[in-house]
Amino acid sequence: MENPPYATLPEPEKQNQIRKTVIGIMNCLKTGTPLDFNNFKAMHKDTPVHDIIHNKSKSDEPSLFEEYLTQVDKILGNLELKLLPIYDTKNSVRIDKTKIPSEIPTKVLAGFSVKNHIVDRKAMKGLVLKEMQNLAKNDKRESAEYEECLELLDSEIENMKKCNLLQINNNNTDNIDMLRFLKCQILAFIFTRSYQLGYAHGEFWNEASPLQSFVTLRDIYNFLKTTFDLNVPTELEKDGGHDIRFHGGENDKGYLKRFVTRYLTNHQYISFYKSDHIRDGHIYDGDSEDGKVMVSWGVKAIGEFDVEDILMSVSGFVCEDAYPAWMQDEDFMAALRSFQDACETVKSGNSGRDGESIEGVFKKWSIEKMRNRK
């Protein structure tokens, strides 16, 4: 039996569908399931909502999908959450036939992220972390005041856990915590390593277009091996050996390879580009195919993550140093700022590469209103 068109549903049934979507989004937050466009659409399979979901602008008027998301976002707002779109780095066009046929550049919706305002990020970063940095500058990392700041940060993390804003392992076979950590570390490595390698040998760092900066897949595997001693793919073991830290000891070879080359790429956290020659020959010996694979930040990472936050999470929480050496390096911080500015440009999607206006997927939904609320 086919579902009735969404527009013909009685209001109570529309509200029921909206509630189901909110529950689905909350479940994605709890389980760590990415809200890619395809995942979001699959979440509504066999429902009247499925056919109104689209990732490109169809006209200059608000669509049913936009009206639907406006209602979903209103409920999320009551929970101190904000639904934000993630746009692809490549734009599309639609044909406007209303007057003179013309091609209108449009954004392409890649998925969504959910920002939480339960944790007062502005206070944490502007007051607590700033105070920690001031104490660290004055060599007071062992002081009672510094310890109090760490306790405040820990309390905010606990608040996030209680609100299901941080995914927690449900049983011994889950690897959520480990994989979330590795995802962040890989993203941080792509930025820091590409900056370290620079432009001269292989053009790893792209000063003009920071988001095109890259490292090789072989370099990522070496980083995971030397830093965390993980069983990554090698020339002798193409899929990588079994790692007992995953899946509670089950013999599952190739788990890390699938995580990097499938999960992170399929969900657009990282992007792969195959070169026709070895890009890291001055670093490693041998003609490994992984040395040809260039890895950069994907649109999902650009939409969800802040590279300085990732670096600070390691320095501030793991090393308990709120004023690390990298923060005192002016050239490094300039590169970091340029990278973050490039991320913000992609997030906003306000203009194309040549400065032209880009039509949004949504016309009136206040999707950007709370993006900069920190």
**Token pair belonging to 120:** 């007062």
Asked which of 77-86, 205-214, 234-243, 286-295 is least confident by mean pLDDT, the reply is 234-243
Mean pLDDT of the chain: 84
Instruction: Report the C-alpha gap between 289 and 276 in whole angstroms.
Output: 10
Asked which of 46-55, 141-150, 206-215, 347-356 is least confident by mean pLDDT, the reply is 347-356
Q: pLDDT tens, 24-47?
A: 999 888 888 899 999 999 999 999
Predicted confidence at residue 131, as pLDDT, reads 85
Predicted confidence at residue 211, as pLDDT, reads 94
Instruction: Report the C-alpha gap between 142 and 135 in whole angstroms.
Output: 9
Inform me whether the pLDDT recorded for 367 exceeds 80: no
CB 181, CB 256: distance < 8 Å: no
User: CA–CA distance from 237 to each of 233, 241, 257, 259 (Å)?
Assistant: 6, 7, 11, 16
- The domains of the chain are located at 6-118, 119-162
At residue 157 the predicted structure's pLDDT band, cuts being 50, 70 and 90, is confident
Mean pLDDT of 324-328: 90
At residue 96 the predicted structure's pLDDT band, cuts being 50, 70 and 90, is confident
Phi-psi region of 111 (alpha: psi -120 to 50; beta: other; left: phi over 0): left
At residue 369 the predicted structure's pLDDT band, cuts being 50, 70 and 90, is very low
In the chain, the percentage of residues whose pLDDT exceeds 90 is 44
**Roughly how many angstroms between the first and final C-alpha of the chain, as a whole number?**
46
Residue type, 30: K
Predicted confidence at residue 374, as pLDDT, reads 42
Long-range contacts of 56-62 (CB under 8 A, 24+ apart): 56/92, 56/94, 56/106, 56/107, 56/108, 56/109, 56/361, 57/94, 57/104, 57/106, 57/107, 57/359, 57/360, 57/361, 58/94, 59/94, 60/96, 60/359, 60/363, 61/363, 62/362, 62/363, 62/364, 62/365
Predicted confidence at residue 297, as pLDDT, reads 96
**Helical spans, DSSP H, in the chain:** 11-31, 37-42, 64-78, 121-123, 130-137, 144-162, 176-197, 217-228, 255-258, 264-266, 299-304, 307-313, 330-348
Q: pLDDT tens, 113-136?
A: 988 777 666 667 767 778 888 888
Instruction: Report the C-alpha gap between 322 and 130 in whole angstroms.
Output: 8
Asked which of 157-161, 249-253, 328-332 is least confident by mean pLDDT, the reply is 249-253
pTM of the model: 0.83
